[in-house]
Amino acid sequence: MTVTASPPLAPARSRWQRARDSDLMYSFLSSKLVMLAALMTVLMVGSAFLAPLIAPHDPYDLRSLNLLDSNTPPAWEAGGDPRFRLGTDDQGRDILSTILYGTRSSILIGIFSVLLAVSIGVSLGLWAGYAGGRVDSVIMRIADVQLTFPAILTALLIDGVAFAMFKSASAGPAKFWVLVVAIGLSYWVQYARTVRGVTLVERNKEYVQAARLIGIGPLRIMFQHVLPNVLSPVLVIATINLALAIITEATLSFLGVGLPATEPSLGTMIQIGNKYLFSGSWWMVAFPGVTLAALVLSVNLLGDWLRDALNPRLR
Amino acid sequence: MLAFAIRRLIEAAFVMLTVAVLAFLLFRFVGDPVNQLVGQDTTLEDRLRLRQQLGLDDPVWVQLGRFLWNAARLDFGISYQAKQPVMMMIADRLPATLELAIAAALFAILVGIPMGVYTGIHRDSWLSKLFLTVSLIGISLPTFLIGILLIYVFAVKLGWFSSFGRGDVVRIGGWTTGLLTASGLKALVLPAITLGLFQMTLVTRLVRSQMLEVLRTDFIKFARARGLSRGAINFGHALKNTLVPVITIIGLQVGAIIAFAIITETVFQWPGMGLMFIQAVQNADIPVMAAYLILVAFLFVAINFVVDLVYVRIDPRIRIFDKAG
């Protein structure tokens, strides 16, 4: 036996019309700041993923690098080279292209680690809230303990241990997934707590009791019946978390325990640029820094807006 | 109260034990301690002898027990990289981190509270809006980026402060301090601001919202009716009533300050424990990592324990289990 979703009440209206008339769309269109943030995010994410097509150079292609080109200032400064609009770094990589590729890896790590954190947090939260009793108290104690440590410290510790373990094999792809796991494991607590809270309420509602009565298994009830009701707070937390994950990745890479220096990422670019700050090569750190700040700010603004628009009670 | 304290104490002990076991696993199974300690031309017999000496042939349980016992006595073995006792290295670097953390906390309190009071009283003035916008940016930007920005403006361009190291330090007993020399104080300014900025914005926002709430209450209106001066009302009555949550938050943030010191110390090459940890990670110096892990965990557990107790003590209305859930 299955409980099918009820058909839409007004089938005459298309999906697009419903989206246009929704509260979400209304609040989106009524704030210029939010629209600007959305535009920035789309632009940055879009150009990051189109990097192989639009970047003037390929920072992965070692043959195209020339050390003679290194430390070139932006094109409009004295000594600039029109081939490198935003200048080059110490290895002769074009800053603009490296930023495009770097933003791509930063965003990808952010997205994957948020996905990991969501799956861990939501599963544990559902389980704790639905099962209750001993399971609940064990999971929530673990969550409390982890919450006493700042997430960035947890990520740093996991990443540091992994870094020490796989020192020999710290090639780009391996480090990428190490970072995803380290960041993902550090941010699951908030989802678990929120989902558990909602599940505790939903568990006693009639539709769950009805589902249980007709013999649907607990896993199916949790994921098919309760889960849709907890999705909007999860979406809000995930958006704000994406900004945090991007910051964490950049911080770890900046500290030298994230992606290796050959792998373009906003954090490693800033780390490299920081070394040349005193010699006056400000562009090496300024452009990736501004990119990172703009990305984080836009995503944060979107998250704040989602929080207010989707669920005013969360404030 | 006592039952609560005991339960929390048992919990804290459990957390510490878990962290210590993790540190032991890290110490024992990541890399071979013997290989790390000796050179490449050491003979096999020498290696075996060293293995015997370090007790690496004993059963794992015996080794774990020994590790825990040593850790309880603050003996964390010898650093692979520096070849000196880890505890000595930590004792050497602890003053630097503590001075930085205290300076950052003072900055957060001494700047954050007045800013919070001001923005709470004059909620619509342009200066308040400026403060709040700046604090929003302060929260959104990553710590290391703020540090680099400060270095570029105040050290590279203006040359007011130094941007790396501690400057000249004075040794008093086992403690080195940079607070007594001009170059030491100059070196402290930028890292302290970088580290304390986030907490400063936190304090500002907290004091502001508390002030807004308190200023609406009847006893403030009554104080105004009695004709008390504005200063006496704002600082003597209103501010005093906002301080309980502020003190709690500051207490909890001490741990965060220690954690974020890792980043600040790396940006400013500040010779503290955080920088030591990052260098240990880069060199796979496991004993130093294990020691840092245990110390930081202890610090956090201790702070949380104290804050929990203070919380219950100050405000008995708080239902402990609500807070935990």
Alpha-carbon distance A302 to nearest alpha carbon in chain B (angstroms)? 13
Do the chains contact at A254 and B149, CB–CB below 8 Å?
no
Q: What is the structure's pLDDT at A137? A: 84
Do the chains contact at B145 and A157, CB–CB below 8 Å?
no
Q: What is the structure's pLDDT at A308? A: 75
Do the chains contact at A153 and B141, CB–CB below 8 Å?
no
How many contacts, defined by CB atoms under 8 Å, are there between A and B? Answer: 93
pLDDT tens by residue, B165-181: 776 677 776 677 767 67
Alpha-carbon distance A274 to nearest alpha carbon in chain B (angstroms)? 7
Q: How confident is the model at residue A19 (pLDDT cuts 50, 70, 90)?
A: low
Joined together, the tokens standing for residue B160 give 């007011």
Q: What is the structure's pLDDT at A120? A: 92
Q: How confident is the model at residue A315 (pLDDT cuts 50, 70, 90)?
A: very low
Do the chains contact at B304 and A148, CB–CB below 8 Å?
yes
Q: Which of B26, B134, B148 to mutate to test the interface with A (most CBs of A within 10 A)?
A: B148
Alpha-carbon distance B222 to nearest alpha carbon in chain A (angstroms)? 31
Q: Is B146 on the interface with A (CB under 8 A)?
A: no
Do the chains contact at B30 and A165, CB–CB below 8 Å?
yes
Do the chains contact at A153 and B145, CB–CB below 8 Å?
no
Interface predicted TM-score (ipTM) over 0.90? no
Do the chains contact at A256 and B282, CB–CB below 8 Å?
yes
Alpha-carbon distance A79 to nearest alpha carbon in chain B (angstroms)? 21
Q: Is B267 on the interface with A (CB under 8 A)?
A: yes
For B58: left if phi > 0, alpha if psi spans -120 to 50, otherwise beta; the answer is: beta
pLDDT tens by residue, A173-229: 778 888 888 888 888 888 898 888 888 888 888 888 888 888 888 888 888 888 888
Do the chains contact at B148 and A277, CB–CB below 8 Å?
yes
Do the chains contact at B148 and A255, CB–CB below 8 Å?
no
Q: What is the structure's pLDDT at A1? A: 43
Q: What is the structure's pLDDT at B248? A: 75
Alpha-carbon distance A21 to nearest alpha carbon in chain B (angstroms)? 32
Q: What is the DSSP letter of B157?
A: I
Give counts: helices (H), strands (E), chain B. 14, 2
Q: In chain A, what residues touch B324 (CB-CB under 8 Å)?
A: 140, 144
Q: In chain A, what residues touch B154 (CB-CB under 8 Å)?
A: none
Q: What is the structure's pLDDT at A117? A: 93
pLDDT tens by residue, A78-124: 666 666 677 777 777 777 888 888 888 889 999 999 999 999 999 99
Q: What is the DSSP letter of B165?
A: S
Mean pLDDT check: name the lowest of A128-132, A265-269, B160-164.
B160-164
Q: How confident is the model at residue A311 (pLDDT cuts 50, 70, 90)?
A: low
Q: Which of A157, A193, A270 to mutate to test the interface with B (most CBs of B within 10 A)?
A: A157
In the predicted model, what is the mean pLDDT of residues A27-42? 79
Q: In chain A, what residues touch B267 (CB-CB under 8 Å)?
A: 274
Q: In chain B, what residues touch A270 (CB-CB under 8 Å)?
A: 144-145, 148
Name A88's bridge partners: A94
Q: Is B188 on the interface with A (CB under 8 A)?
A: no
Q: Is B300 on the interface with A (CB under 8 A)?
A: yes
**B263, B277, B324: residue with CB nearest A251:** B263
pTM of the model: 0.80
Q: Is B259 on the interface with A (CB under 8 A)?
A: yes
Q: What is the structure's pLDDT at A115? A: 93
Do the chains contact at B267 and A277, CB–CB below 8 Å?
no
A297 → chain B, closest CA residue: B140
Provide the greatest CA pair distance for chain A: 77
Residues of chain B scoring pLDDT < 50:
319-325
Q: What is the structure's pLDDT at B323? A: 43
Count of residues making up chain A: 315
Higher per-residue pLDDT: A87 or A306: A306
Name B171's bridge partners: B176
Q: Is B151 on the interface with A (CB under 8 A)?
A: yes
Q: How confident is the model at residue A170 (pLDDT cuts 50, 70, 90)?
A: low
State how far the Cα of B61 lies from the Cα of B290, in Å rounded to an integer: 18
Do the chains contact at A257 and B281, CB–CB below 8 Å?
yes
Asked whether A99 and A89 are in contact (CB, 8 A), the reply is no
In the predicted model, what is the mean pLDDT of residues A243-247? 88
Do the chains contact at B255 and A148, CB–CB below 8 Å?
yes
Q: In chain B, what residues touch A163 (CB-CB under 8 Å)?
A: 281-282, 284
